Amino acid sequence: MEKLLNNWNFQGRHYETSSDCAELTSYLSRCHSCRVESGCFMVYDRPNYMGNQYFMRRGEYADYMSMMGMSDCIRSCRMIPMHRGSYRMRIYERENFGGQMHECMDDCENIMDRYRMSNCMSCHVMDGHWLMYEQPNYRGRMMYLRPGEYRSFRDMGFGGTRFMSMRRIMDSYH
C-alpha cells in the first residue's frame, strides 16, 4: 500500500492507495511526499501516468520534489504488480520494431556496449516488468514498461531521449 501526503515531511491530508491512480488532484490538491509501505510504485509529475516518472520501493520520501528534481508535485501513480517467472523483452533500434533487434532476458547496464545499438526507439515486452534508463548504469530519466508493444518512445513523450540501460523489476526490490 502506498500512502501519499500533500505537504513536505508527511504533513496535512493524505491519501492511501494500493492500486493505480490517474489523477491525484481529485483526492489531494498537492502531493509532495509519500510513504511506500509495501510493493513498488511508479509516480508521475503529470496526470494519466505522463511526464517524468520515478520508481519507488518501500520507504519514506519526505521531500519528494527536491530529492528527485521534480518540477511539480506527484500527480498520478501506478502500482507495479509482483512478477514471478521469466523476463523477456525485444528491443529495436528504430520505431515500429525496425532496425536491429535483440532479445533480452536480464539486466543490461549498457545497451551500446552489449548490443552495439546506438539507439533504442521501440520494444515489445513479453514477460515481466522493466525500467529503461536514459544513461548507462541505470541512471537518468526512466520509463516503466509492462507487458505490451511500445511502437514509439517518441510518441509516448520521450522524443530525443535515448535509452541506454534497462533493469528488470524483481521481487528483491520489494
pLDDT of 77-134, one tens digit each?
Answer: 899 988 889 999 999 999 999 999 999 999 999 999 999 998 899 999 999 999 999 9
Alpha carbon separation from 2 to 14, 31, 41 (Å, rounded): 11, 13, 8
What percentage of the chain carries pLDDT values higher than 90? 44
Q: Above 90 in pLDDT, residue 167?
A: yes
Residues 100 and 157 in one domain: yes
Q: What is the CATH number of the domain that holds 7?
A: 2.60.20.10
Contact of 171 with 82, CB cutoff 8 Å: yes
pLDDT of residue 1: 43
Cell numbers standing for residue 115: 548490443
Task: Write the CB contacts of 155 (distance below 8 Å, at least 6 apart in sequence).
Answer: none
Residues 94 and 41 in one domain: no
Find the domain containing 97 and state its range: 88-173
Residue with cell 493524505: 14
Q: How far is residue 107 CA from its own chain's centroid? A: 15
Residues 95 and 169 in one domain: yes
Confidence band (pLDDT; 50, 70, 90) for 156?
confident
Contact of 9 with 32, CB cutoff 8 Å: no
Total domains in the fold of the chain:
2
Residues 74 and 105 in one domain: no
Question: Residue 91 pairs with which residues in a beta bridge?
Answer: 102, 123
